[in-house]
Amino acid sequence: MAEAPQQEQQEQQEQLLVQIEQEQQQEHQPELVQEQQQEEQQEEQQEQRQEEQEEHQLDQQNKEEEEQVEQEEEEEQPSSSEASEPDEEPEEPKESAQMPRSRPLLSTRSMSSGGGGGGGDPADDSPNMIVYKKIEDIITRIQDETDGIPIRTVKSFMTKIPSVVTGADIVTWLMRNLSIDDAAEAMHLGSQIAAQGYIFPISDHTLTLKDDGTFYRFQAPYFWPSHCWEPENTDYAIYLCKRTMQNKTRLELADYEAENLARLQRAFARKWEFIYMQAEAQVKIDRKKEKTERKILDSQERAFWDVYRPVPGSVNTTEMDIRKCRRIKNPHRVKKSVYGVTEEGTQSQSPIHTPSHHCRKGTKEDVEKEILFLNTQLDRHCMKMSKVAESLMSYTEQYLEYDPFVTPLEPSNPWTSDDPSFWDLETSKETSQQRVKKWGFSLEEALKDPLGRDLFLKFLESEFSSENLRFWLAVQHLKRMPQQEVAQRAQDIWAEFLAEGAPSSINLDSHSYERTSQNLKDPGRYSYEDAQAHIYKLMKSDSYARFLRSNVYQDLLMARKKPETEQGRRTSLEKFTRSVGKSLTGKRLTGLMQSS
Amino acid sequence: QKVLVELKITFSQCSKNERNYKTTSRKYMRSPLSPEMATQEVQLNETLAHLKTESENLKSKLEEERAKLHDVELHQVAEKVEGLGQFIMKTRRTLKGHGNKVLCMDWCKDKRRIVSSSQDGKVIVWDAFTTNKEHAVTMPCTWVMACAYAPSGCAVACGGLDNKCSVYPLSLDKNENLAAKKKSVAMHTNYLSACSFTNSDMQILTSSGDGTCALWDVESGQLLQSFHGHAADVLCLDLAPSETGNTFVSGGCDKKANVWDMRSGQCIQSFETHESDINSVRYYPSGDAFASGSDDATCRLYDLRADREVAIYSKESIIFGVSSVDFSLSGRLLFGGYNDYTINVWDVLKGTRVSILFGHENRVSTLRVSPDGTAFCTGSWDHTLRIWA
């Protein structure tokens, strides 16, 4: 599997390049877009302002709350938090006395206008959104004050790690609250939730869940995938750029990020100044935030980019099934910038957002058809559940011994033993008891197996009544022919089986006979459906029943072979010893064989 | 004045529609703009509302009638059935060679060969037993979402974003260019989501994003029958296993599973209990029931004789959609491939989950049990296929 990660990496880089190239092309968009742009710009700016305000308000609220609860903690180590970050900007107001927020930004920060409304939005039930909702429900429960995991600030070395839980905590919670018996399964589910972008390890770009003391944080609702983010490379460039402006080890770029940045610098050479400015502006905004809050937000922002620009070699969970693309949210909106950046000529309609003509509206004719259909259904004679259940159970019971997943195969399952002799047995004329027994389950089963069909035919020939089966087979064949040959073949069948003085005349009731001769006026592949069904019923109730009682069938079933009896016995004994041998030692007990 | 206002609206409607309206009580004839037409149009809208009410009433009545027969649950009756033992199912083969997401696969009747198709346009025929690639074709489009093996083993069909289904005869000569012998059979107006040969190499059944299914004559490319009734993309289909039957089931983005009569093109039964797209449908081996897998993270069993859903296979911890389902030979086990990269194995009768299998590194997009039930194959977005037994 070593090739795959490299390939993935290459592909992702290529994708990035393609995106960059597309951006460059779009730079030269006509003015049509500009007016729209301006409107959107204003909207965006307003939203951005709104959100900053909300953020600020929330900060205040939380700070006040925390102050009361955790004052003792802070008093214990007043200097440590300051000392740990010597390169903190001097212009920062004295916020060290403020409490670290113990709860991440939760429901109040949901994206306002942008993501489209809440209830009533038809795209809300698109496949992706269904999963997001379920995950968000889990995430909300897991952070609940009473029933969730306590989110703590952990002290380590000279710093505090705010707002974390351990992987083991999450695994335990999932097992307890979602009825999961196996820790591996809980870990897998947790990894899926991480991969989608709802939780993340604070010191790793790879989004998986480990069942140990590794620290995880919850993603801010602003960054939730349910908002249908499709961040542009300009945003990514701004992000990487601002990272380099902040001299903190925790913000250092990984190798692949540095490479991406270099590539973006080349691609956006002409507007790099703009990007640099935006990055500076973002740094300024960030600086105004309180230290602990910054730690949290920085990590959340990084986790966001880990989803939308994943580490090479990891799964890109934002990839979509193209069949479902038409129905995602935001069909008409321009792609939203993470940092509220708007720029003339660079914004575009998302290429996969096409207006959805999704469900055809019900016309009057549709409703009339539906009424007809419903009336037919009402007239249908249905079976009781208890009878249905018995039927399903008895069918399964009957075939259980033939099911390789349930009953071990003789001699072995080729896939597990690498020995294809089981298949050779099937294709040979070998008539094992098991195989012959199956022919007795139903006429259908007997006809399905070429050997069974041949034997049944032979039996009928011995009774001089083979024309029924031959007719049935001929009609089966007719239905499988190319359209062009159907008419002729239908005529041939008539001549052979139904015409006056036909060589293999079959016995049809007058009603079916009339219907069939009518059908033959315009011969098609279904001309003989009625006749075939009639003959099948006849065979089932009459000849088939006698076939099962016949010597030729019973002999095979009881493995009563005549002249070759000696050989027959030895063969079955060989088989027996072989299987015994395998189960005991895996080797053949040759001693036993020789003694026979 | 009210009438005048309505006149304006209804006239514009009239000009758009060109149909002969038949109301339940009178024949409606097209005539040049007139007040009569206006009132009739108003009546038409009222009639539509009436019809809808009638339809809703019938639906409730049907629910009631069906509920009368619902005297017991399947899993309750199945309590007396012996439980299945522990299963040891592992990956026995891994097929590597696709350059992008594997989207579909099908088994050959010889029980060891398979055909698979991928997002990168490649269709590969493998001997899964030896893991050797035997044929490869590059389609002119990406996202080849459907592929099928011909019953004779001598051809494969495939299609996807090209809106077509094409048949490629498989040549014994490995050097021969398969693409040259390609035959275009089906033409839809949107992507091809699934295809299947009927009992012969001569007919193909297709389903499409255009909301229809269709039956085609391979030799001539002629459309033999089309099936209309889904209100959105049709994503999957499966032919009834009966030798004598002429029916198939389809599932779509309208959350419906429909059973069709191939002769008449009529929908003979319809089931709508899923909460999201139905990605996969598969008949129970006896042909009396079928299972479905959906984006709502559940698999369900529908019985045709009871005309209703008879079981749901779900768990609180399973939240990702099901992409594909198939039964083991006896119908006792239901295998489901999921978008969370796992395979869940269900006890069909008891309704419990028997096993969960890990291994794939991305979504499982396709899953089929081999013709003799000795193994099942999965295809995934991680570019590989795996054989499990």
Give residue-wise pLDDT tens across range A350-361.
454 444 444 555
Tens digit of each residue's pLDDT (9 = 90 or more) over A500-524: 999 999 989 999 999 999 999 999 9
For residue B175, the model assigns a pLDDT of: 64
CATH number at residue B221: 2.130.10.10
Say which DSSP state A341 is in.
-
Question: Are residues B221 and B234 both part of a single domain?
Answer: no
The reply to whether B300 falls in a domain is: yes
Say which DSSP state A334 is in.
B
For residue A210, pLDDT beyond 80: yes
The reply to whether B174 falls in a domain is: yes
Angle at A453 (CA atoms; ends A450, A457), nearest 5 degrees: 140
- Is residue B118 within 8 A of residue B101, CB to CB? The reply is yes
The helix (run of H) or strand (run of E) holding residue A165 is strand A159-166
Distance CA B184, CA A148 (A): 58
Question: Are residues B338 and B376 both part of a single domain?
Answer: no
Question: Are residues B308 and B218 both part of a single domain?
Answer: no
CB atoms < 10 A from the CB of A246, how many?
Answer: 18
Please name the amino acid found at residue B80.
K
For residue A13, the model assigns a pLDDT of: 53
For residue A8, pLDDT beyond 80: no
Nearest to B268 by CA among B310, B305, B231: B305
Residue A562 near chain B (CB below 8 Å) = no
Count CB pairs under 8 A between chains A and B.
265
Q: In this complex, do A374 and B235 lie within 8 Å of one another by their Cβ atoms?
A: no
For residue A73, pLDDT beyond 60: no
Least confident piece of the model among A426-440, B209-223, B339-353: A426-440
State the average pLDDT for chain A: 78
The helix (run of H) or strand (run of E) holding residue A130 is helix A127-142
Residue A444 near chain B (CB below 8 Å) = yes
* Dihedral-angle region of residue B97 (phi above 0 means left; psi in -120 to 50 means alpha; beta otherwise): left
CB proximity list for A576: less than 8 A, separation 6 or greater? none
Strand arrangement of the beta sheet that strand A199-201 belongs to: A152-156, A159-166, A215-218, A199-201
- Is residue B330 within 8 A of residue B342, CB to CB? The reply is no
Token digits for B51? 């019809």
Tens digit of each residue's pLDDT (9 = 90 or more) over A163-202: 999 999 999 999 999 999 999 999 999 999 999 999 999 9
Q: How confident is the model at residue A334 (pLDDT cuts 50, 70, 90)?
A: low
From chain A, pick out residues whose CB is under 8 angstroms from the CB of B71.
384-386
Residues A23-41 have a mean pLDDT of 44
Residues A311-332 have a mean pLDDT of 82
Question: Are residues B112 and B234 both part of a single domain?
Answer: no
Q: Which residue has the higher pLDDT, A118 or B192?
A: B192
Residue A558 near chain B (CB below 8 Å) = no
Q: In this complex, do B55 and A413 lie within 8 Å of one another by their Cβ atoms?
A: no
The reply to whether B68 falls in a domain is: no
Residues B309-323 have a mean pLDDT of 98
Domain ranges, residue B161: 97-228+360-388
Question: Are residues B237 and B302 both part of a single domain?
Answer: yes
The reply to whether B197 falls in a domain is: yes
Long-range contacts of A576-580, Cβ-Cβ distance < 8 Å, separation of 24 or more: A578/A411, A579/A410, A579/A411
Residues A238-253 have a mean pLDDT of 86
The reply to whether B375 falls in a domain is: yes
From chain A, pick out residues whose CB is under 8 angstroms from the CB of B84.
406
Residues B53-61 have a mean pLDDT of 93
From chain B, pick out residues whose CB is under 8 angstroms from the CB of A413.
374-375, 389
Question: Are residues B163 and B102 both part of a single domain?
Answer: yes
Question: Are residues B195 and B161 both part of a single domain?
Answer: yes
Residues A405-415 have a mean pLDDT of 93
Question: Are residues B286 and B190 both part of a single domain?
Answer: no
Chain B contact probe: residue of A388, A393, A537 with most B CBs at under 10 A: A388
Q: How far is CA A230 from CA A301, A385, B23, in A?
A: 14, 49, 49
Tens digit of each residue's pLDDT (9 = 90 or more) over B24-50: 334 334 445 577 777 777 777 778 889
The reply to whether B58 falls in a domain is: no
Question: Are residues B164 and B216 both part of a single domain?
Answer: yes
Question: Are residues B199 and B155 both part of a single domain?
Answer: yes
Q: How confident is the model at residue B289 (pLDDT cuts 50, 70, 90)?
A: very high
Q: In this complex, do A403 and B381 lie within 8 Å of one another by their Cβ atoms?
A: no
Determine what percent of chain A is predicted with pLDDT higher than 70: 68
Question: Are residues B127 and B151 both part of a single domain?
Answer: yes
What does chain A come to in residues? 596
Say which DSSP state A354 is in.
-
The reply to whether B251 falls in a domain is: yes
Split into its structural domains, chain B has a count of 2
Distance CA A41, CA B356 (A): 49
CB proximity list for B158: less than 8 A, separation 6 or greater? B104, B115, B117, B123, B137, B139, B144, B146, B147, B148, B165, B166, B168, B195
Question: Are residues B235 and B350 both part of a single domain?
Answer: yes
Instruction: Name residues 337-376 of chain A within 8 A of B (Cβ).
Output: 358-360, 362, 364-365, 367-368, 370-371, 373-375
For residue A22, the model assigns a pLDDT of: 53
The reply to whether B25 falls in a domain is: no
